[in-house]
């Protein structure tokens, strides 16, 4: 009997495990779920979800606010957010050459209590997928994998902190949802039913979500209780195919309309049919399919109780973005058209190739071996270039071949152990720097086998043995092995341990060192006595003093202290002025910005550094030093700063009307800025930049000019902000400085990006992008445009010769066309690929003054228009449009 019960218990356990298993290949990730709560079975699907621990190395976990929880179920209740770093990535193991349906879910739910609408980019590997700008959204694509790994990255683009709730992958059959090129991005999916019921897994084996759509007045419902054969590859749920719609009037067409944004977007449609009625002997259901009046398919008759799918073999476009899909009854048909379900997808082109797979594997093995936890070492190592891993250089000049790693700098990275063999997978390395670590063991011979290697720096380690002769003899390679006290071989010669040459060397080195030490000591004493003679009897306090931490130490041992005269606040004063950080104004890469008062009356914005990173302190220091010495009506004023231990704060004058980006997008209020106001704002911004370039000694380059860094006070006066990346030209006559590339994608000067040479013309390029934004009110980067970058897009539109194609349509043509043309020409001049041919900011100011004068002279104030957004797809159904002849 006991054995019987053991058998029953074992059977029930196995049954439970089998039932808990997901369909083959399904990946269900509950982002932010605690490991102790993983896995669990979600309702109503019954799918098993697991924690994202192990799939991402960064981020913090959160949960949507209590008041939103009744509206959602697991797995959307938890989330992971990423306050640190620009790009944070999930890495998933997948099957190569597999067609996957991939879904990412974002539910903000005011998890942080800040009520800040999300706005960040979602990347698929090295390619942008979409911009997340809704509080509740599901992004879905269908994509064929090219490797055994897949990366989904969240990229910070402004004050909003990226987050994600759910990540799901479902493998599809290979021969469904096939495109000529590119991948598919979800547009809509509907089953024509008046039930109001949404259908997904387990009814849909691929977990597609089907929304119910129906127009009661003009349609009639067709249903069946019989089984509908749905085995045509697309495997539609029977609940989807057992209902359909036909026009109520048998002579009408069945119409489905939607809008595309931007209008030239390409798309694929999939219409699913099955005859649900038992037709009489003299009944015929036959129709043609047209798109915007043009013949697409037919004549077609649905098969009785059998699913068939009619699809586009080539992508379609709709003139002006308005799409009208019509099912038109043929003359011989006695019954109206019937449609059961429809799907539509836009074409998304992931054209940027991923880094060479072997080299990615190699660099990740290096990362794993040495436990490197650099926050930038996520996602693709080489591309896009603005997210290049720290310490790497790559070659991606040939867009038809995968990028390759050409340089690896891990100097002073705390490496221990031996040189890992994973490095030999980096077969295109030209430079390898492992200096100033604590590496041990012998120098491996395989380094000589990296044919392209030109520089190898192994100095400052603890290697033993001899340098391999193959490395010493490698032609054209520069080798540095100095500072390895136990290494018996130099780049010039190998000396066996204990021979005369080695003894001689060991004697000479201490003697030389001793003589050098004595010389240095004598020099130091002489200098001391000289200075002592010149020292005045009265001790004078210098006019400036070093900023110090509260304990008297330098705030960052690795950073030179900030020279300043005054305006320093204690942390307790910052707490008081912000009323214990009560009111949040926004969030940025630096940290959270709070509202406050100085002396109880003067309004200020207090920007707190979120973490005491060395890079954050560099930008903090740069901004304080700049703003304490420059003053201009179009630069945001610095009221003061706080540098107390780990508490860093910048205290600015308060800008009541936020940034220009908010007003252009309509998120600040429901009004769009008129053309005259826009010109005034960019003119004032240009004056601020012109002062940095010409009024400062030494001249300054801002390096991050963009609409979010143009702030507006209560009178809509524009002031340039965020000087953390600014650089000066300290040498008289110097035309450029060489720096690591910094800035914002889309605004970044391509010449600076290509050469690392920074000039004031780099700011001119970024300002040209700002000009195009205020002219077009278009995003800087939009992958759905024919030309994703705004500069290229405007260039194409200019060839059509009509300013209306470029100008923001919400202005309703309320502007002086001459001033617009002049502004467009100025912007395109700022974007000249050659920096030498771009105007100076002084010339830009003159041109903008003329634009504003032309606009003001036309008479009559421009009207502020309500902002109108057409980003979301508007899907409507009806029969009110008559068919058009072919």
Supply the angle between the helices 790-798 and 760-776 in degrees, to the nearest 10: 60
The pLDDT tens digits for 280-302 are: 999 999 999 999 999 999 999 99
Instruction: Provide the pLDDT for residue 79.
Output: 98
User: What single-letter DSSP state applies at residue 545?
Assistant: E
Q: How big is the CA angle at 576 (ends 575 and 578), to the nearest 5 degrees?
A: 70
pLDDT at 217 over 90: no
Looking only at the bridges linking them, the beta strands covering 87-93 and 219-223 are unpaired
Compute how many other C-beta atoms are within 10 angstroms of the C-beta atom of residue 623.
Answer: 24
880 pLDDT band (50/70/90 cuts)?
very low
pLDDT at 874 over 90: no
Q: Is 798 helix (H, G, I), strand (E, B) or coil?
A: helix
Query: Which residues sit opposite 332 in a β-bridge?
Result: none
pLDDT at 194 over 80: yes
Would you put residue 515 in left (φ > 0), alpha (ψ -120 to 50) or beta? alpha
Instruction: Provide the pLDDT for residue 503.
Output: 38
Domains and CATH numbers, the chain: 20-172 (2.60.120.430), 185-350 (2.60.120), 357-480 (3.80.10.10), 546-653 (3.30.200.20), 660-860 (1.10.510.10)
pLDDT at 278 over 90: yes
Q: Radius of gyration over alpha carbons of the chain, in Å? A: 33
Instruction: Provide the pLDDT for residue 5.
Output: 41
The pLDDT tens digits for 111-136 are: 999 999 999 999 999 999 999 999 99
727 pLDDT band (50/70/90 cuts)?
low
Task: Report, as an integer, the average pLDDT of 536-565.
Answer: 35
pLDDT at 737 over 80: no
Instruction: Provide the pLDDT for residue 565.
Output: 41
Instruction: Provide the pLDDT for residue 558.
Output: 38
Instruction: Provide the pLDDT for residue 234.
Output: 95
CA 127 to chain centre: 9
Instruction: Provide the pLDDT for residue 532.
Output: 45
Range scoring the smallest mean pLDDT among 433-442, 565-574, 652-661: 565-574
Task: Go through 656-677 and write b for each residue having 16 or more CB atoms within 10 A of its CB, e for each that does not.
Answer: ebbbbbbbbbbebeeebbbbbb
Looking only at the bridges linking them, the beta strands covering 243-247 and 219-223 are antiparallel
Range scoring the smallest mean pLDDT among 78-82, 664-668, 772-776: 664-668
304 pLDDT band (50/70/90 cuts)?
very high
Task: Report, as an integer, the average pLDDT of 613-622.
Answer: 64
In terms of Cα–Cα distance, which of 605, 747, 604 is closest to 689? 747
Instruction: Provide the pLDDT for residue 22.
Output: 80
Cite the DSSP H helix spans in 425-545: 469-472, 500-534
**Residue written as token pair 């901004």:** 623
Phi and psi at 144, nearest 5°, equal -95, 120
Tokens matching residue 695 = 């009024």
544 pLDDT band (50/70/90 cuts)?
very low
Range scoring the smallest mean pLDDT among 528-532, 645-649, 719-723: 528-532
Supply the angle between the helices 760-776 and 675-690 in degrees, to the nearest 10: 170
Instruction: Provide the pLDDT for residue 671.
Output: 67
DSSP string, 803-865: GGGTS-GGGTT-S-HHHHHHHHHHHHHHT-SSGGGSPPHHHHHHHHHHHHHHHHTT-SPPPPE
pLDDT at 867 over 50: no
pLDDT at 825 over 90: yes
Cite the active site residues.
704
Q: Is 48 helix (H, G, I), strand (E, B) or coil?
A: strand
Compute how many other C-beta atoms are within 10 angstroms of the C-beta atom of residue 778.
Answer: 17
pLDDT at 613 over 80: no
Residue 790: burial class (beta carbons within 10 Å; 0-12, 13-18, 19+) = buried
Integer Cα distance of 829 and 837 in angstroms = 8
Alpha-carbon distances, residue 790 vs 624, 770, 774, 777 (angstroms): 33, 10, 12, 10
pLDDT at 668 over 70: no
Residue 537: burial class (beta carbons within 10 Å; 0-12, 13-18, 19+) = exposed
pLDDT at 18 over 80: no
For the ranges 263-277, 385-399, 640-654, the one whose mean pLDDT is highest: 263-277
Instruction: Provide the pLDDT for residue 399.
Output: 80
On the CB side of 44, how many CA atoms lie within 13 Å of its CA?
8
**Residue written as token pair 């309320």:** 814
The pLDDT tens digits for 70-84 are: 999 999 999 999 999
- In the sheet with 404-409, reading across from the earlier edge strand, the strands are 392-395, 404-409, 431-433, 455-457, 478-480
Q: Is 214 helix (H, G, I), strand (E, B) or coil?
A: coil
Integer Cα distance of 729 and 761 in angstroms = 13
Sign (positive or negative) of CA dihedral 857, 863, 869, 874: negative
User: What single-letter DSSP state applies at residue 335?
Assistant: B
User: What single-letter DSSP state applies at residue 568?
Assistant: B
Tokens matching residue 680 = 């005034």
Average pLDDT of the chain is: 83
Q: Binding site for ATP: what residues are annotated? A: 607
Integer Cα distance of 503 and 497 in angstroms = 9
Alpha-carbon distances, residue 852 vs 396, 849, 885 (angstroms): 43, 5, 50
Task: Report, as an integer, the average pLDDT of 439-454.
Answer: 95
Q: Binding site: what residues are annotated? A: 607
Phi and psi at 20, nearest 5°, equal -80, -15
Integer Cα distance of 765 and 752 in angstroms = 10
End-to-end CA distance of the chain: 80
The pLDDT tens digits for 46-72 are: 999 999 999 999 999 999 999 999 999
Would you put residue 68 in left (φ > 0), alpha (ψ -120 to 50) or beta? alpha
Instruction: Provide the pLDDT for residue 725.
Output: 65
Tokens matching residue 790 = 């705004």
Sign (positive or negative) of CA dihedral 387, 391, 395, 401: negative
Q: Is 449 helix (H, G, I), strand (E, B) or coil?
A: helix
Please tell me the total number of residues recorded for the chain in this structure: 886
- DSSP H or E segment with residue 678: helix 675-690
Task: Report, as an integer, the average pLDDT of 400-417.
Answer: 94
CA 519 to chain centre: 57
Tokens matching residue 172 = 């599809």
Share above pLDDT 70 across residues of the chain, in percent, rounded to a whole number: 81
Instruction: Provide the pLDDT for residue 515.
Output: 46
Kindly tell me the number of DSSP H helices and DSSP E strands found in the chain. Answer: 14, 47
| 8 A C-beta contact, residue 434 and residue 388 | no
């Amino acid at each position: 009997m006991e054995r019987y019960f053991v058998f029953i218990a074992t059977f029930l356990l196995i049954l439970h495990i089998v039932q808990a298993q997901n369909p083959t290949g399904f990946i269900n990730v509950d982002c932010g779920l605690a490991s102790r709560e993983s896995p669990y079975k979600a309702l109503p699907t019954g799918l098993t979800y697991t924690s994202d621990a192990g799939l991402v190395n960064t981020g913090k976990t959160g949960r949507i606010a209590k008041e939103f929880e009744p509206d959602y179920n697991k797995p959307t209740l938890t989330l992971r957010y990423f306050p640190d770093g620009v790009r944070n990535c999930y890495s998933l193991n997948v099957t190569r050459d597999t067609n996957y349906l991939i879904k990412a879910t974002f539910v903000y739910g005011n998890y942080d209590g800040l009520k800040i609408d999300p706005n960040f980019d979602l990347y698929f590997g090295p390619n942008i997928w979409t911009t997340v700008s809704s509080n509740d959204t599901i992004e879905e694509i269908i994509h064929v994998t090219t490797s055994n790994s897949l990366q989904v990255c969240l990229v910070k683009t402004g004050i909003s902190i990226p987050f994600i709730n759910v990540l799901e992958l479902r493998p599809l059959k290979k021969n469904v949802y096939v495109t000529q090129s590119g991948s598919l991005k979800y547009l809509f999916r509907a089953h024509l039913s008046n039930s109001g019921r949404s259908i997904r897994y387990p009814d849909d084996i691929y977990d597609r979500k089907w929304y119910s759509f129906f127009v009661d007045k003009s349609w009639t419902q067709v249903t069946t209780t019989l089984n509908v054969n749905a085995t045509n590859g697309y495997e539609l749920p029977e609940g989807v195919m057992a209902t359909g719609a036909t026009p109520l009037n048998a002579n009408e067409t069945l119409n489905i309309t939607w809008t595309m944004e931007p209008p030239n977007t390409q798309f694929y449609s999939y219409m699913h049919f099955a005859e649900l009625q038992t037709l009489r002997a003299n009944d015929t259901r036959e129709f043609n399919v047209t798109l915007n009046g043009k013949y697409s398919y037919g004549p077609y008759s649905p098969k009785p109780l059998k699913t068939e799918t009619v699809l586009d073999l080539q992508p379609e476009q709709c003139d002006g973005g308005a799409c009208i899909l019509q099912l038109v009854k043929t003359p011989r048909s006695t019954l109206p058209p019937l449609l059961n379900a429809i799907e539509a997808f836009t074409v998304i082109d992931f054209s940027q190739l991923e880094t060479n797979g072997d080299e990615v594997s190699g660099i990740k093995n290096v990362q794993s071996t040495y436990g490197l936890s650099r926050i930038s070492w996520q996602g693709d190592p080489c591309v896009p270039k603005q997210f290049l891993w720290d310490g790497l250089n790559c070659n991606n000049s040939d867009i038809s071949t995968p990028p390759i790693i050409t340089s690896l700098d891990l100097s002073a990275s705390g490496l221990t152990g031996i040189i890992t063999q994973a490095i030999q997978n980096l077969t295109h390395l030209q430079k390898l720097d492992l200096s100033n670590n604590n590496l041990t063991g012998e120098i491996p011979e395989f380094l000589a086998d990296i044919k392209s290697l030109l520089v190898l720096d192994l100095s400052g380690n603890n290697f033993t043995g001899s340098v391999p002769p193959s490395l010493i003899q490698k032609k054209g390679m520069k080798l540095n092995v100095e500072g390895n006290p136990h290494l018996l071989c130099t780049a010039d010669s190998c000396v066996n341990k204990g021979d005369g040459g080695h003894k001689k060397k060991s004697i000479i080195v201490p003697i030389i060192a001793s003589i050098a030490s004595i010389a240095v000591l004598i020099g130091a004493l002489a200098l001391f006595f000289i200075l002592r003679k010149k020292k005045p009897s009265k001790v004078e306090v210098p006019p400036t003093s070093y900023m110090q931490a509260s304990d008297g130490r330098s705030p960052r041992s690795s950073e030179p202290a900030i020279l300043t005269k005054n305006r320093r606040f204690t942390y307790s004063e910052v707490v008081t002025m912000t009323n214990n950080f009560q009111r949040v104004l926004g969030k940025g890469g630096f940290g959270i910005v709070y509202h406050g008062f100085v002396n109880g009356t003067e309004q200020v914005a207090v920007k707190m550094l979120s973490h005491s990173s060395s890079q954050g302190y560099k930008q903090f220091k740069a901004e304080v030093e700049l703003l304490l010495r420059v003053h201009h009506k179009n630069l945001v004023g610095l009221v003061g700063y706080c540098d107390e231990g780990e508490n860093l704060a910048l205290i600015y004058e308060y800008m009541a009307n936020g940034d220009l980006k908010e007003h252009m997008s309509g998120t600040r209020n429901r009004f769009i800025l008129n053309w005259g106001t826009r010109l005034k704002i960019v003119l004032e911004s240009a004056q601020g930049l012109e002062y940095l370039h010409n009024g400062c000694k030494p001249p300054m380059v801002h390096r991050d000019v963009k609409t979010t860094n143009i702030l507006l006070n209560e009178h809509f006066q524009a002031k340039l902000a965020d000087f953390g990346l600014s650089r000066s030209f300290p040498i008289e006559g110097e035309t450029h400085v060489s720096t690591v590339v910094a800035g914002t994608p889309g605004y970044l000067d391509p010449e600076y990006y290509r050469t690392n040479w920074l000039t004031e013309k780099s700011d001119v390029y970024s300002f040209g992008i700002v000009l195009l934004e205020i002219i077009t009110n278009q995003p800087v980067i939009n992958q759905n445009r024919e030309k994703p970058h705004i500069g290229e897009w405007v260039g194409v539109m200019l060839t059509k010769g009509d300013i209306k194609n470029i100008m923001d349509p919400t202005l309703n043509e309320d502007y002086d066309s001459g001033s617009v043309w002049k502004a467009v020409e100025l912007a395109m001049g700022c974007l000249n690929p050659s920096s030498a041919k771009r105007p100076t900011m002084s010339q830009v100011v003159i041109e903008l003054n003329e634009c504003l004068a032309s606009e003001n002279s036309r008479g009559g104030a421009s009207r502020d228009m309500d902002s109108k957004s057409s980003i979301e797809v508007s899907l409507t159904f009806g029969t009110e449009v008559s068919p058009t002849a072919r």
